[in-house]
Amino acid sequence: MSSRRQTPGLDPKPVLELIASIETDLQRLKDMLACKAEQFDPANPHNKTCDGKLTADGVECCYRMFDEGKSRYSVAQSMKISFAAATHRFNAWRKAGGEKRQKTLLG
């Protein structure tokens, strides 16, 4: 006689599929956490809203480019924003502490 009891009428297949799905999701999370520092991409469409304004990720991307010593012109070209917008972000970056500012995670 087996020590495992099965509830009458319970089909184990969907439960086992759910467990496998959860295990897959957990492995994906482990892999994400194990990745090296996230690279930013100025051309990522998530950097701008549908009306052309920068999202929080877009602002952080600008700031990281300034951290690397990129010029306002270079940031404007890479992010496809105006030079005036890049200048505004540059001044905000300096006000936030420049290279010593607290970096945020990109989403």
The predicted pLDDT at position 73 comes to 96
The better pLDDT of the pair 68, 9 is held by 68
In contact, 81 and 54? CB cutoff 8 Å: yes
Tens digits of per-residue pLDDT, 47-103? Answer: 898 888 999 989 999 999 999 999 999 999 999 999 999 999 999 999 999 888 888
DSSP letter for 98, please. G
CA 56: distance to chain centroid? 10
Answer for the pair 66, 98: CB distance below 8 angstroms, yes or no.
Answer: yes
Tens of pLDDT, residues 23-54: 988 888 777 666 544 567 888 888 898 888 99
Closest CA to 47 of 29, 32, 62, 30: 62
Q: What burial class does residue 88 get, using C-beta atoms within 10 Å of its C-beta: 0-12 exposed, 13-18 middle, 19+ buried?
A: middle
